[in-house]
Every structure is written in structure tokens, then in C-alpha cells.
């Protein structure tokens, strides 16, 4: 492994060209990530707080809300990858213009070293000219030094062309340097060769041209364009081969944050996709930085740092009761996904989280965990100034049949007795209600429904439908709903209106999904997990025992839609995806999972 400490100390044998300052003063723009705001306002008091940046000074007066503390937004950290000539440099120009990130291109840094004849440049030259990778230790030293500069920390960074090998990716992991997103530009091989051969660079402005696709604007510019030494057809083929050999190993490190983009389109269209991904990320970071003070901040901070540590899935999920750390991780994960969905204007949402403590089919089911989850979500939205109604279905049926699903017995009382903080949220910004149209008051901004479910002989759907109709465009969030049709008390499934009921139940959009996967007929050991957080893909993980006795979850694949049992089987068996397959997979281990 590279000794990064030596590379950054003065005793290092490697000296860097001043151009490693490349782009240090990015385009002056009002970059949202560089804004900082600090202050707090108290519950129901119409105070205002200020947004500061070097360029702006805004005043914001919130209309209503609980006490909110705002912290500096964290800047974006972006990695862009793709085969030679897939358009990384071209997109980076556009990203820097819009987001003001510090662009760190290992290719550009190395070329600057070569043209200045530095020690690094002389070492790198022969590798670059033959289309091979420059040794890891040289490139990693350059990148880590550049990333540690103040401008990259403040403005955020855009890493282009690094990591390019598994060892480079591991170096970053060991230094705890991880991007928010890993963008991969996908372009067919035959197009790449033409792009490389036709590429020309302007040594004055650094702008990238293509003789056919993006010809220079004037004869004067054309006359000074240069061709890269590694842009011959033969060398491009060798670079492409090396890229392919390394790509899979690198992407396994970033699979949970990978976004593949079709790079064989006009550059503006490609940028539109990247722009919306990065804008969404910025939005998420802003939401995350507005922390509800009614919850202990250390809990959320802890959860976020654990999220980093676990890279998606906490370990030891078979240890019951779940540790506070694990519970906090999930509360935070659900909260962020739900906030993103509501901020995007989604109104019919469901959260399905099936860790052992929240799985009513397991002996270890714990109603307190469900209540805590509901409290975290409700308080957070209340902190944003929303009036939240938390609803538990009331007794259903009549006479001897009156009653409610066992899982919900007593929950309303528990909610009423719970500690909702010292800011008077309960009764003002948070109210407790039942499920039904008449529970919807004009002042309510949104509704959180605790595990609405059909019971034998009784169906909650009509009440639910009445409530969503009355709520109109206001968000209704179902937490762990169970809306499958159940047999009537006579043991006969009520068929009247069944299709409509199922159609209605399916009309809620998943904003969070987490489920553990088990081998057939056993709840030990855990086989893997599926996780989806709005608006990202479903991620499939495998649980792996490590020689040290620890365990970890390894990301296997991602899916746009929730994967079927067969799809999961195929991935676990290492088979290629087969969309037409109908019969259940040979292991049959997932029966009943969905």
C-alpha cells in the first residue's frame, strides 16, 4: 500500500508540479455547497435566520415550525469513470461550470508533470505513451495530496480518472475518502476509438475538441490544437483493454452509489442526467444538515457515521434486541428516504422495513422499535414546520368481532404516553388519530399511518381510501402496512371488490424497503438483504462471514424494480440475469419471503 504520509511530508522523494493546483480557483459562482448558515429559532416563534456566503446574504423568515438547528452544508464529492474517450473530461467541464467543484483529473495532472519534465512526469511518460497505467503509488500520492487541499475540502471535488485499479480504490477506502456518487459513462467500443482519434486539445484554454463532433470555433484555435500522444487507434485499443480488466473490480467498491449513464448521446443530454443526479444529492445534503433538535443530535450523527462504516447494511442483525446503534441507523435511513420522497412531491408512500425487531412474524418483534421509528419521522417533519397526524387504526368490526390486529393492541396509548420532547410538539405539531376520512382536519399537513392492516374478517382499505381521498395532495405515509386480503370469519375469502382493493393497496409508492433474506425454513444464518431508499435502485447484498469471525454485507447487484425470487436466486448463483424465467429458482430458499 502506498505510504501517503510520506507523499505529503516534505521528506518525500516525489515532488509535484505546481499544476497540481489545477482548478484551485474554480469559477466564482454561488455554489450551494459553500453556503453556511447558522442559528436556531424556537418553536412557534417567527424569528429569522441568515444565510451567509462570501457572495450572498439572504434572510429567511420561517412561517412556522419547531426549533431547528442548521449546520454548514457538506460539499459534493463526485467520482466520474468510463472508458477512454467516454466523455469524462467533456462532462467535467460542464459539472465544474454548474457546481463549482474542484476538478481533479489524474490524466491532466500527469500530462502537466510530463510537459514540465518533472521527476514524476519522466517516470509516468513511458507508461502513458504506451497506453498503460502509471504505477499506483505515483498516482495515489498525487491524488491524495490534491484532495487534502483546502479548496477541495470547501468546494467539494470531482475526481476524474481515479481510481483506475482495485488497489487505488482500496487506498481511498483506507483513507476513508469516499464519494457521494460514482458516475460511469457507458459508450460502445467502436464509438470510443473514433472519439479518441478525432480528439484535439487546446493548450491555451484546456478545452477538448473533436474534429467532427465538436470542431474548433475559429481557424486561430484550430491552428494551435494538439493531439495526445496516446490517441492512436492502437493505443486506444490497449487502454480500453486495461480499462475493462479493472472496471469490475473498482465498481464493486462503489456498487451502492453507482449510476451508469448512457454516454452515447449528445453531451447536453448526458449532462442533463448528471445535473439532476447531483442536484438531488445536494438537496439531500441540505435536508440532512437541517437536524431536528428534538432528537438527540448525537444519535443522528452516530447513525450517519455508522452508515459510512457499514456501507449500507449494519452487521449483527441476528443479535436481539438490536443495539441502539443499529436501530438508529435504520431510523435515520428511513427518515432520509422519506424526506427525499416528500420533498419531491410524492404523496402516497409506504415504508417497509423488516428487520427482526420489526417483523411481527418473529418472536423478537418489538412494538417499541416501531413506535420509536414513527416518532423519529414525525418529529423530523414537525421540525420542518409540518403538522403531522400519527394514526393508528381503531377497533374494527362489531359485537363479538370487534377488535384490532394483535400487533396494534395498545399502540395508541403507547404513542400518547411516549416522550415527544420538551418543545410542546405533542398536541400542536403532532397529533394522534385513527384511520378514516373524518380524522383528516384542514390544518393537518401530512399523515403517518402506523402499520395499517387487514384483520381476519375486517378490511381496513375502505377507511384508508376514505382518508387518502380526504387528504388530497397531502402526503400519507404507511409504515409497515399489511394490506393483503385475508379470509373472512367464515374462512372464505371475500372476493367482492378484491381487485379494486388490491389495486388500491398497490397504489402506494415504496420510498423505503429493507428485508433480510434467509435460507429456506430457517432464520439463521442470514443469507443477505435487499435495501431500497428513494429515489435509488434496489440493492441486493450477500452476507459473508469473515475469517476474523466478523461478518459483512457485500453488494451483489442493483435493480430498478424490486427483484423477484428468481432474479435473486440467479444473482446468488452467479447466473446471468434471465427476465423470462418463471419457475422459482432451484434453491427455493426464498419461498414466502415476499
β-partners of residue 382 are none
DSSP H or E stretch at residue 532? strand 526-533
Angle (CA) 317-248-208 rounded to 5° is 125
Q: What is the DSSP letter of 212?
A: T
CB of 415 to ligand AP5, least distance (A): 54
DSSP class of residue 569 equals: H
Cβ-based nearer residue to ligand AP5, 110 or 181: 110
Whether 199 is catalytic is yes
CA 139 to chain centre: 28
448 binds ligand AP5 per the rule CB under 6 A? no
Kindly indicate which of the ranges 156-164, 277-285, 459-467, 483-491 contains the residues binding ligand AP5, using the contact rule CB under 6 A: 156-164
Return d(Cα 180, Cα 121) in angstroms, integer.
Answer: 31
Distance, CA of 583 to chain centre = 33
Q: How far apart are CA 251 and CA 138, in angstroms?
A: 22
Decide: is 259 part of the binding site for ligand AP5 (CB under 6 A): no
Strands (E), 434-575: 446-450, 476-479, 509-518, 526-533, 538-545, 551-559
Q: Are 335 and 376 in contact, with CB atoms under 8 Å apart?
A: yes
Cα–Cα dist 340/281, whole Å: 10
Per CB under 6 A, does 230 bind ligand AP5? yes
CA distance 353 to 356: 9
Q: Which one of the listed residues 164, 235, 386, 389 is annotated catalytic?
A: 164
Nearest-CB residue to ligand AP5? 107
Active-site residue (options: 146, 200, 235, 239): 239
Q: Are 121 and 17 in contact (CB under 8 A)?
A: yes
Q: Are β-strands 181-186 and 258-262 bridged in parallel, bridged antiparallel, or unpaired?
A: parallel
String of contacts with ligand AP5 for each residue 265-304, x by CB under 6 A: -xx--x----------------------------------
Least distance (Å) from ligand AP5 to the CB of residue 243? Answer: 7
Q: Under the criterion CB under 6 A, does residue 214 sit at the interface with ligand AP5?
A: yes
For the window 95-134, what string marks contact with ligand AP5 as x by the rule CB under 6 A?
-----------xx--x----------------xx--xxxx
Q: Annotated catalytic residue: which of 199, 340, 386, 515?
A: 199
Under rule CB under 6 A, residue 208 binds ligand AP5: yes
Residue number with CB closer to ligand AP5 (168 or 258): 168
> Footprint of ligand AP5 on residues 556-575 (CB under 6 A)?
none
Shortest CB 260 distance to ligand AP5, Å: 15
Q: Which is nearer to ligand AP5, 128 or 526 (CB)?
A: 128
Asked about 239 being catalytic, the answer comes back as yes
- How many CB atoms within 10 Å of residue 5? 10
132 is catalytic: no
Q: Cα-Cα-Cα-Cα dihedral of 103, 254, 480, 385, to 10°? A: -20
Q: DSSP assignment, residue 133?
A: P
Q: Is 324 a catalytic residue?
A: no
Give the nearest distance from C-beta 208 to ligand AP5 in angstroms. 4
Per-residue contact string for residues 63-102; x = within reach of ligand AP5 by CB under 6 A: -------------------x-xxxxxxx------------
Interface of this chain with ligand AP5, residues 159 to 198, rule: CB under 6 A: 161-162, 164, 168, 195, 198
Report if residue 2 touches ligand AP5, rule: CB under 6 A: no
Q: Residue 133 or 530: which CB sits closer to ligand AP5?
A: 133
Burial class (CB in 10 A: 0-12, 13-18, 19+), 194: middle
Q: How far apart are CA 387 and CA 446, in angstroms?
A: 7
Catalytic residue status for 412: no
Q: How far is CA 360 from the centre of its chain?
A: 28
Size of the site for ligand AP5 (CB under 6 A): 35
Query: How many C-beta atoms surround the C-beta of residue 573 within 10 A?
Result: 10
Among 17, 77, 155, 199, binds ligand AP5 (CB under 6 A): 199
Strands 509-518 and 348-354, how do they pair? Answer: parallel
Given the residues 207, 228, 299, 465, select the one marked as catalytic: 228
Is the Cβ of residue 79 or residue 334 nearer to ligand AP5 in the bound state? Answer: 79
Distance CA 419, CA 372 (A): 10
Catalytic residue positions? 88, 164, 199, 228, 239
Binding site for ligand AP5 (CB under 6 A): 82, 84-90, 106-107, 110, 127-128, 131-134, 139, 161-162, 164, 168, 195, 198-199, 208-210, 213-214, 230, 239, 266-267, 270
Amino acid at each position: 500500500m502506498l505510504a501517503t504520509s510520506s507523499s505529503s511530508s516534505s521528506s518525500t522523494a516525489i515532488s509535484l508540479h505546481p499544476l497540481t493546483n489545477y482548478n484551485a480557483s474554480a469559477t466564482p459562482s454561488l455554489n450551494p455547497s459553500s453556503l453556511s448558515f447558522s442559528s436556531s429559532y424556537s418553536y412557534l416563534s417567527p424569528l429569522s435566520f441568515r444565510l451567509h456566503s462570501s457572495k450572498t446574504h439572504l434572510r429567511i423568515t420561517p412561517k412556522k415550525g419547531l426549533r431547528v438547528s442548521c449546520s454548514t452544508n457538506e460539499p459534493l464529492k463526485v467520482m466520474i469513470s468510463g472508458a477512454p474517450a467516454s466523455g469524462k473530461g467533456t462532462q467535467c467541464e460542464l459539472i465544474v461550470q454548474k457546481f463549482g467543484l474542484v476538478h481533479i483529473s489524474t490524466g491532466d495532472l500527469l500530462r502537466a508533470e510530463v510537459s514540465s519534465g518533472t521527476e514524476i512526469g519522466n517516470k509516468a511518460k513511458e507508461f502513458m505513451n504506451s497506453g498503460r497505467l502509471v504505477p499506483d503509488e505515483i498516482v495515489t500520492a498525487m491524488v491524495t495530496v490534491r484532495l487534502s487541499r483546502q479548496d477541495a475540502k470547501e468546494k467539494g471535488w470531482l475526481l476524474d480518472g481515479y481510481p483506475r485499479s482495485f488497489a487505488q480504490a482500496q487506498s481511498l477506502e483506507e483513507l476513508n475518502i469516499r464519494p457521494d456518487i460514482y458516475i460511469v459513462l457507458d459508450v460502445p467500443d467502436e464509438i470510443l476509438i473514433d472519439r479518441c482519434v478525432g480528439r484535439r486539445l487546446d493548450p491555451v484554454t484546456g478545452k477538448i475538441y473533436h474534429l467532427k463532433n465538436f470542431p474548433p470555433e475559429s481557424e486561430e484555435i484550430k491552428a494551435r490544437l494538439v493531439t495526445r500522444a496516446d490517441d492512436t487507434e492502437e493505443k486506444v485499443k490497449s487502454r480500453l483493454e486495461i480499462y475493462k480488466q479493472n472496471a469490475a473490480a473498482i465498481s464493486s467498491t462503489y456498487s451502492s452509489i453507482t449510476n451508469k449513464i448512457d454516454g452515447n448521446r449528445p453531451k447536453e443530454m448526458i449532462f442533463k442526467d448528471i445535473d439532476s443526479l447531483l442536484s438531488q444529492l445536494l438537496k439531500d445534503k441540505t435536508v440532512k444538515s437541517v437536524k431536528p433538535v428534538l432528537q438527540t443530535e448525537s444519535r443522528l450523527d452516530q447513525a450517519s457515521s455508522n452508515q459510512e462504516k457499514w456501507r449500507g447494511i449494519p452487521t449483527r442483525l441476528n443479535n436481539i434486541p438490536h443495539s441502539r446503534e443499529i436501530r438508529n441507523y435504520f431510523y435515520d435511513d428511513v427518515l432520509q428516504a422519506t424526506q427525499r420522497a416528500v420533498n419531491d412531491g410524492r404523496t402516497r408512500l409506504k415504508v417497509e422495513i423488516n428487520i427482526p425487531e420489526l417483523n411481527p412474524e418473529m418472536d423478537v418483534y418489538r412494538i417499541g422499535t416501531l413506535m420509536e421509528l414513527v416518532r423519529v419521522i414525525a418529529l423530523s417533519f414537525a421540525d420542518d414546520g409540518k403538522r403531522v397526524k400519527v394514526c393508528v387504526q381503531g377497533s374494527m368490526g362489531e359485537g363479538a368481532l370487534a377488535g384490532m390486529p394483535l400487533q396494534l393492541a395498545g399502540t395508541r396509548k403507547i404513542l400518547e404516553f411516549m416522550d415527544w420532547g420538551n418543545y410542546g410538539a405533542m398536541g400542536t405539531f403532532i397529533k394522534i388519530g385513527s384511520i378514516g376520512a373524518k380524522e383528516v382536519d384542514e390544518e393537518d399537513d401530512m399523515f403517518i399511518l402506523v402499520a395499517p392492516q387487514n384483520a381476519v374478517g375486517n378490511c381496513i382499505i375502505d377507511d384508508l381510501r376514505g382518508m387518502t381521498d380526504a387528504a388530497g395532495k397531502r402526503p400519507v405515509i404507511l409504515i409497515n402496512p399489511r394490506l393483503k386480503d385475508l379470509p373472512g370469519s367464515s374462512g372464505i375469502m371475500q372476493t367482492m371488490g378484491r381487485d379494486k382493493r388490491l389495486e388500491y393497496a398497490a397504489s402506494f409508492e415504496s420510498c423505503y424497503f429493507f428485508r433480510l433474506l434467509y435460507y429456506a425454513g430457517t432464520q439463521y444464518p442470514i443469507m443477505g438483504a435487499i435495501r431500497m431508499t428513494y429515489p435509488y435502485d434496489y440493492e441486493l447484498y450477500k452476507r459473508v462471514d469473515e475469517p476474523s469471525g466478523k461478518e459483512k454485507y457485500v453488494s451483489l447487484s442493483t435493480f430498478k424494480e424490486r427483484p423477484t425470487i428468481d432474479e435473486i436466486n440467479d444473482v446468488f448463483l452467479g447466473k446471468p440475469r434471465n427476465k423470462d424465467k418463471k419457475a422459482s429458482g432451484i434453491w427455493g430458499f426464498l419461498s414466502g419471503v415476499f
